[in-house]
Structure 1
Amino acid sequence: MSDLAEGGARLLDDVGAALRDARPQSPAERFEQTAWLALLASTGDGLLRRAQAPAHLTASAAVLSPDGAQTCLVFHHKMQTWVQPGGHFEAGDPSGAAAAAREVAEETGLSGRVTPAPVLLSRHPAPCAPGVVDYHLDLQYLMLSDVVDPTPSDESPQVRWWPVHDLPRDLASGVPELVRRATEVLAAQPDGWVPTARR
């Protein structure tokens, strides 16, 4: 992110609220949530910049069909695995959910409704700057999108829908847990959806 002056305070507030709204399900997840909030408090908007080392925040989404039966994944050529669409924050992103939606649109051409709070917090090795940036702290949201043909991009030339119970073998670690958590969140909603506004 080159400049957070425009709307930066709003984005920082939203990311902090999103982290607090995450619902950890284990001691390890509670520790991650607490540690990320402490990093955000001490680092400020630096934690949203891709140059921040040894870790920085990113945003992604498990893209599910409205019935929760399919998920859209992209093939990450640097890692040679299928992953959920996502990436770095950019200037102008008003929220974590909006950053995830923008990344989904850029990498798949899909759009839809995104949960206001992450369904999972994932710390994983960062492929963006090996030896400099060790971890991505990924805010992982749920997006519901109609099952239409995705649009490949230069960044993600291989994009496709997969049945959630028949995911590809060459899958990045953590993706099965994200898909499982997202389908659980969706199934827990009486109307099949989560409110789009936090307040």
Structure 2
Amino acid sequence: MTVPNAAVHADAVQTLSNWEPGEYGQRALREAFLGFLAARPDACARSCVPGHLTASAVILSHDGARVLLTLHPRVGRWVQLGGHCEEGDTGLAAAALREAVEESGIGDLEIDPRPLHVDVHLITCSLGLPTRHFDVRFLLRAPADATPVRSSESVDLAWWPVDALPPDVAPALGGHHLRPDTWINSASAEPPPRG
């Protein structure tokens, strides 16, 4: 039997095993993600009904002052871009980058291949079944002249100042681990290699 998204699964284990988050809660979640991956060879496939890994993109403007958010039609609030891993993705960061380009229309995004944050949330997926998303979020930076183009997957797409996020923004996006000063400091570092 062929395991769906086996390459992404192997990359997820390696990426999360090598990631050292600073917060206890993030370390505990990382261990839960690794346990789920160990128990479920199909953990990176949308067809894994108990839950599956997803890849998200926190896209900063080139100067780090704004973050690109999408008004998600099913969730009904502003969230980071991202989605399901697909066959052909070589890893979690590659899936996040693919989703970011598809949903924003912005090419030449720079991605830090290290996770920024992990989150687990209940959701009813596009398959119509309640499930859990084990979301791995990555930090991306847009080129200076980036002009986003809304895709059919979004109700709206907009740049928001990192210090003035919309009132209905997803709770995790406004949390301590994604403070605006953290984003700005991350964005001011040397950009990671394109990947």
TM-score scaled by structure 2?
0.86
Deviation at 1:189, TM superposition (A): 7.4
Residues 86-116 of structure 1 deviation map (CA, whole Å, 9 limit, x = unaligned): 0000110011111001111111112301111
Matched with 2:14 is 17
1:61-100, aligned counterparts within 5 Å? 61-100=57-96
Pair 1:77–1:132, CA change in 2 (3 A): closer
Pair 1:172–1:113, CA change in 2 (3 A): same
- Paired with 2:104 and 2:142, the residues of 1 have a C-alpha distance of 11
Unaligned runs of 5+ in 1: none
More deviation, 182-191/91-100: 182-191
- Paired with 1:190 and 1:161, the residues of 2 have a C-alpha distance of 18
Q: How many residues align?
A: 192
Please point out which of 29, 34, 40 is paired with 2:31.
34
More deviation, 93-102/128-137: 128-137
Matched with 1:150 is 148
Letter in structure 1 aligned against 2:149: T
- Paired with 2:57 and 2:67, the residues of 1 have a C-alpha distance of 10
Residue 113 (str. 1) matches residue 118 (str. 2): no
TM-score scaled by structure 1?
0.84
The structure richer in strand per residue is 2
Aligned residues: CA RMSD: 2.6
Pair 1:108–1:84, CA change in 2 (3 A): same
Identical aligned residues as a percent? 33
Pair 1:178–1:40, CA change in 2 (3 A): farther
The answer to whether the Cα contact below 8 Å between 1:72 and 1:160 also exists between their aligned partners in 2 is yes
